[in-house]
Amino acid sequence: MGLIQGIPGEFEPQPWGEAIVRSRELLLLRIARPPADHEVRLPGLTTTPRHVVEDETGKALTWRRDGDDLVVRLPEVDQPPVVRVALQGKLRIVPPDTVTANADGVCDLTPTGPVAHLVARRAADVAVRFIGMVEPDSRHQIRLGGRRYGVTGQQVARTTIGPFPMPERRVVALTVPSGVRRVLVAPVGTVLASIHPGRDELTVVVTNFGRTPARGDVELPLPANWSATEHTWTFDDLGPGHSIGWSTRITAPPGRHELRAHLDAGRRSASSPHTITT
């Protein structure tokens, strides 16, 4: 896929110590717990280093890029050095919670806080569908990249929000309202099928990310030795921004399985896979 451009930010604590941002173009790596192989890995650094040296002596250290990670070889000494990393440009990182869109341009994520990070394989206008319990009368500012919308909790819970321009291969931040447990992001025009597991049933949801009504058929293919009360549905006149869902009780052997509903709703049909444990 190539290098993903990150966003300004700071690094989380690392197994070997911490990365301290001294300026937009300078990092210090404080080594508290030297790895046994003497290689320090700093994940998510997208800016290319200009040079990597011991901070006290200025001695050059061996380093390499491994995807979006920086790997530095430490000298085999009793007291590990502080490593100075001078960058060729402004510091940009890929946060560890970043979710990359699949081949259909869809991001399907479980947020862990008020901000989520996304990256698209190609530029597109997208819309966002939040899933969860949000107070209907609450007010929210939804930001993705450089655009924002003021919406009510009722809009958050019932319809898609957008469009937002997603640049190609650049990490962007999405604000997530409190109470949201899942987020679907898809290119505008997509009709998306997603799977939502419950205690002993599954719900198959179709969301219209387009600007015109949608119609089509949905099938839930099941693994061997599974059974369900229903596994095919038909829908018509699904309005722009809206969703429709069907629940089915399942019987399945123990294990982890990836399920993907098959959707036939025209050329922009897409399906988000979901792994469930039974």
CA–CA separation, 112 and 95 (whole Å):
12
Q: Residue 62 and residue 58: Cα distance in Å, rounded? A: 13
Last residue of one domain, picked from the residues 37, 63, 87: 87
d(CA 176, CA 202) in angstroms, rounded, equals: 25
Kind of pairing between the strands at 227-228 and 232-238: unpaired
CATH number where 242 lies = 2.60.40.10
CATH of residue 82's domain is: 2.60.40.1180
> Which of 134, 158, 188 is at the close of a domain?
188
Query: What pLDDT score does 2 carry?
Result: 54
Predicted confidence at residue 1, as pLDDT, reads 42
Specify if 3 maps to a domain: no
**Within a domain: 146:** yes
Q: Is residue 154 left, alpha or beta, with left meaning phi > 0 and alpha meaning psi from -120 to 50?
A: alpha
pTM of the predicted structure, to 2 decimals: 0.86
Q: Tell me the pLDDT tens digit for each residue of 44-65.
A: 999 999 999 999 999 999 999 9
Domain closes at, from 87, 112, 129: 87
- Rounded CA-CA distance 47/181 in Å is 32
* Position 12 in a domain: no
- d(C-alpha 31, C-alpha 227), whole Å: 54
Residues 170, 184 within the same domain: yes
Domains of the chain: total: 3
**Separation between Cα atoms, residue 49 and residue 84, nearest integer Å:** 10
- Domain membership of residue 56 as a residue range: 17-87
